[in-house]
């Protein structure tokens, strides 16, 4: 692993091969008439008795009653960026870290002070709004295992991320092909992208090098897209059964470069989570994305409107819960 990291750092710093400035072409923001966006007042009218089990394939796992504790999905409001925490008891997984140290405030709020260990960390891709906060976590918490795509990128936050992995000798693994990971607590991840036959993880493909994976826990399913945009390839490669999920972590902050109507129809999410900053300059989420989600009757939850968003596992999948 040290050789891999050293090669990555040398390739990046010595050559400065690519400087990437990726910006969205989106220019519209706000709501579309009729779109099922959920306000803080009516979002929590969804109850644990609602059956979401049809919004995702059946899973041959132990029943919910046999789990030691509920699984919680925290979708953090980190401004214009992404960060999610998956938590069961004192076991935590962090997916992306947002654009800055504000992630530390979230962990301080939702984790006991004595819990200074993150069991699993996942970086979907090397853009600053996903990676910069991870270095802050790695400096202050023990991180047992890291998964990332191994891409070559010169972003300062990504270089710091790689440096800390090397300096602290953190166990890190590159995900560059479909595979499945599972833990003793019943959490299962099915990685669908990137795949080297699709992309060679070059800078111009940085969004499409995002780790795409489906989380499965009991009867609950959640699809995490990172900033992945080539959804047609996912659909043609895997088909509906591998993609259909109760929760969709909407790709690229709701950008029009992603979230094609055919893809959303295949996923058919009961809930769609959009992580974006208030009045952001990119126009996220794009009106076309909101319209496509409305067409499949998905309930849209936005961090710029609701703040932090929490889902908890239940017998019928994941249910939303109120956060202060």
In a domain, 121, yes or no: yes
Share of the chain above pLDDT 90, in %: 62
Mind listing the pLDDT tens digit for each residue in 129-160? Answer: 999 999 999 999 999 999 999 988 889 999 99
Interaxial angle between packed helices 156-167 and 2-15, expressed in degrees from 0 to 180 and rounded to the nearest 10: 150
Does pLDDT of 81 surpass 60?
yes
- Angle among Cα 198, 202, 203 to the nearest 5 degrees reads 130
| Among the ranges given (14-18, 77-81, 158-162), the one the predictor scored with the smallest mean pLDDT | 14-18
Residues forming beta bridges with residue 72, ordered by sequence position = 87, 312
Q: Which domain holds residue 166?
A: 2-19+28-319
Q: Using 50, 70 and 90 to split pLDDT, how confident is the model at 18? A: very low
- Residue 245, token pair as written in the block: 């999920």
Q: pLDDT tens-digit profile of 254-285?
A: 878 888 899 999 999 999 999 998 888 887 79
Residue 237 has which token pair? 């490669």
**174 and 150 in contact (C-beta within 8 Å)?**
yes
Q: Which pLDDT value is given to residue 179?
A: 95
Kindly tell me if the per-residue pLDDT of 9 is higher than 60: no
Spatial contact of 243 and 235, defined as CB atoms under 8 Å apart = yes
Please answer whether residues 136 and 97 qualify as being in contact, where contact means their C-beta atoms are separated by less than 8 angstroms.
Answer: yes
Q: What percent of the chain has pLDDT over 70?
A: 76
**What is the per-residue pLDDT for 274?**
95
Per the domain annotation, does 42 fall within a domain?
yes
Q: How confident is the model at residue 7 (pLDDT cuts 50, 70, 90)?
A: low
112: how many CB neighbours lie within 10 A of its CB? 8
Q: Check residue 30 and give its pLDDT.
A: 40
Examine the pLDDT at 298 and tell me if it is beyond 50.
yes
Q: Tell me how far CA of residue 8 lies from CA of 11, 21, 252, 310, 314, in angstroms.
A: 5, 20, 25, 36, 42
Contact 196, 177 (CB under 8 A): yes
CATH number assigned to the domain comprising residue 233: 3.60.15.10
For Cα atoms 42, 300, 276, give the angle at the middle one, nearest 5 degrees. Answer: 115
Residue 10 lies in a domain: yes
Structural domains counted in the chain = 1
pLDDT at 197: 66
Average predicted confidence (pLDDT) for the chain = 82
- Using pLDDT thresholds of 50, 70 and 90, give the confidence band for residue 207: confident
Taking the C-alpha atoms of residue 241 and residue 234, their distance in angstroms, rounded to an integer, is 12
Residue 44: its pLDDT value, please?
A: 37
Q: Is residue 324 part of a domain?
A: no
pLDDT in tens, 164-183: 999 999 999 999 899 999 99
Q: Does the pLDDT of residue 221 top 90, yes or no?
A: yes
Residue 310 lies in a domain: yes
The span from the CA of 88 to the CA of 93, in Å, is 9
Distance CA 61, CA 75 (A): 25
Q: Are 190 and 175 in contact (CB under 8 A)?
A: no
Q: Is residue 260 part of a domain?
A: yes
Distance CA 127, CA 206 (A): 8
pLDDT in tens, 42-67: 443 333 344 444 444 444 444 434 34
Query: Between 21 and 114, where is the model more confident?
Result: 114
Report which secondary-structure segment, H or E, holds 173: strand 171-174
Instruction: Give tens-digit pLDDT for 106-132.
Output: 999 999 999 999 999 999 999 999 999
DSSP-assigned states of every residue in 201-227: --GGGTGGGS-EEEEEETTEEEEE-TT
Query: DSSP alpha helices (H): ranges in the chain?
Result: 2-15, 40-43, 102-110, 128-140, 156-167, 231-238, 240-243, 261-267, 287-295, 303-306
């Amino acid at each position: 692993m040290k050789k891999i990291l050293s090669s990555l750092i040398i390739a990046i710093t010595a050559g400065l091969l690519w400087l990437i400035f990726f910006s969205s072409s989106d220019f519209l923001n706000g709501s579309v008439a009729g779109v099922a966006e959920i306000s803080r007042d009516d979002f929590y009218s969804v109850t644990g008795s609602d059956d979401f089990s049809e919004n995702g394939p059946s899973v041959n796992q132990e029943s919910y009653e046999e789990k030691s504790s509920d699984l919680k999905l925290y979708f953090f409001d980190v401004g214009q960026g992404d960060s999610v925490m998956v938590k069961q008891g004192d076991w935590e997984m962090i997916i992306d870290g947002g654009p800055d140290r504000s992630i530390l405030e979230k962990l301080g709020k939702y984790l006991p002070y004595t819990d200074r260990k993150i069991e699993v960390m996942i970086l979907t891709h090397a853009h600053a709004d996903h990676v910069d906060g991870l270095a802050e976590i790695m400096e202050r918490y023990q991180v047992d295992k890291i998964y990332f795509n191994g891409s070559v990128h010169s972003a300062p936050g990504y270089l710091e991320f790689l440096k800390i992995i090397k300096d602290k000798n953190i166990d890190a693994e590159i995900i560059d092909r479909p595979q499945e990971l599972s833990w003793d607590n019943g959490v299962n991840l099915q990685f669908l992208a990137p795949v080297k036959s699709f992309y060679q993880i070059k800078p111009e493909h940085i969004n499409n090098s995002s780790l795409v994976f489906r989380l499965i826990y009991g009867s609950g399913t959640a699809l995490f897209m990172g900033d992945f945009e080539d959804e047609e390839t996912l659909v043609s490669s895997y088909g509906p059964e591998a993609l259909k999920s109760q929760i969709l972590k909407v790709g690229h902050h709701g950008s029009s470069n992603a979230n094609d109507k055919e893809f959303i129809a295949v996923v058919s999410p009961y809930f769609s989570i959009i992580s974006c900053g208030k009045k952001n300059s990119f126009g996220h989420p794009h009106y076309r994305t909101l319209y496509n989600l409305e067409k499949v009757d998905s309930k849209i939850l936005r961090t710029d409107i609701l703040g932090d968003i929490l889902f908890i596992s239940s017998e019928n999948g994941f249910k939303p819960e109120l956060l202060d």
